[in-house]
Each structure stands twice: as structure tokens, then as C-alpha cells.
Structure 1
């Protein structure tokens, strides 16, 4: 057996944060979700059953949490920072898909949220 692609995934992690263009958004905050799909070779931990051989998803969460605590105007900026921080923290990562959603955005529409999605490639790894 050979693993052709593998990922660590965090789905819809919820945060209350202070991102937005409007002053009120930066003052009272809003609810957000972050989903990540992190490309990383998981063939060794699939065999070894040793946590030291994998990318620890609790540490991955802490990286995302730190970036969500820094206020920004644009979701695009926050998502880009999250992707960069993941690759800086885990150099073995080959790529990151980041989806950042603002729940109940202030745009006068009844919707589940407004999102940005970035697909980032770590050009420091061999893909």
C-alpha cells in the first residue's frame, strides 16, 4: 500500500474575533469559522502509531487561534496570515487550504455566512 496524498483537517473551528471594515465590527466582534486542509505526508504515522511522527492538530489549532486574535479589516488578510503561520510552524507542510467564514455578516442579507478560501502551496517543500 502507498499513500498518494494525505491531509490533517480541522473543520469549522469557531471563534469570536474582531475582523471587519466597519468600526462596529472591530468593536463588538463577530463569530467566525475556520476550516483547514493541511497537506502533509502521513505515511510514517500511518505505520508507526506514534504522535511524534505526525502534525499535531492541537498545535495546529493554537496557530489558527493566535492569528484569529489579531484584528484585521479583510478576511483575505486573516486567511493569508493563517496559511503562512501554518507553513512557518510546520515546514513539512506541502500546502494549506484555508476557508474563513464570517457568520451573519452585516450586509443586509439572511445568509449562513460570507467566506474566503485560499489554496496556498509551500514552495519550500518538494511537491
Structure 2
């Protein structure tokens, strides 16, 4: 699990979101058979969290209107990274201080994939 990844991105439907951008917090949970890695102490038998972070960072740099779309792309890239060993992925993406007509700390989406 990667928790509280903090990145900046330009996602949203409003024109100003494409220019001003927002801060985002991302959490990723992955179900994976870690048995071989735990026995062999071998990085190739597990999911390298540096690679996961790089996937998230790369996808955050591709603008989307919807964070739901961004979440789906990240899940797909994670599945492609260690197919078929990744059994389940859950991602939560939160836009901090969204441009709303009120005091809202964040808006979040949670998406799951298997």
C-alpha cells in the first residue's frame, strides 16, 4: 500500500483548473501474492513501490477532466506492470481545496479494479 502520495496536477472540467492546477492526495492498495518475495528476499518477486510511485506520477502529468478517468488509467497501468500477479487494486484520489462555492477541504473518488 502506498499512502498519502502528494502531487500537483491539472485535472478538472473548469477552464481555470487547466491553468491553476490543484494539489492531490493518492492512496493505493494492491492485493498481490507476496509469498515468494517474503521467502527469497527478492525484489523481482514483489511490487516495487518506486515503480508504483513512478506510474502515479506519470499519469498525474496527463491532464484529465475527471479524476475518475485518472484513477482508471492508474489502475490499468498497475495491472499492466505486473500482470497477471496483481489480483486487486484500489485507488483513492482526492483533490485538495476544490473550486466550489463553499468551504470544502477535498473531493475524493475511490475506484477498484481486478
Answer yes or no: same fold by TM over 0.5: yes
CA drift of 1:38 comes to: 1.1
CA drift of 1:57 comes to: 0.5
Aligned with 1:14 (options 6, 11, 23): 6
How far apart are the structure 2 equivalents of 1:37 and 1:11? 8
Instruction: Please state whether the residue corresponding to 1:55 is helix, strand or coil.
Output: coil
Q: How does 1:55-66 map to 2 (within 5 A)?
A: 55-66=47-58
CA drift of 1:78 comes to: 0.5
Aligned to 1:37: 29
RMSD: 0.9
Instruction: Please state whether the residue corresponding to 2:16 is helix, strand or coil.
Output: helix
TM-score by length of 2: 0.94
- Aligned: 1:98 with 2:91: yes
How far apart are the structure 2 equivalents of 1:118 and 1:56? 21
CA drift of 1:47 comes to: 1.5
- Higher RCO (C-alpha 8 Å, min separation 6): 2
Which structure has greater strand proportion?
A: 2
1:20-57 Cα deviation digits (max 9, x unpaired): 01110111110001110011100111122222221100
Instruction: Please state whether the residue corresponding to 2:54 is helix, strand or coil.
Output: helix
1:51-105 Cα deviation digits (max 9, x unpaired): 2221100001111111110001001100011101110111111111010100000
Aligned with 2:105 (options 98, 103, 112): 112
In the alignment, structure 2 segments of 5+ residues that lack a partner are: none
The count of aligned residue pairs is: 113
Instruction: Please state whether the residue corresponding to 1:86 is helix, strand or coil.
Output: helix
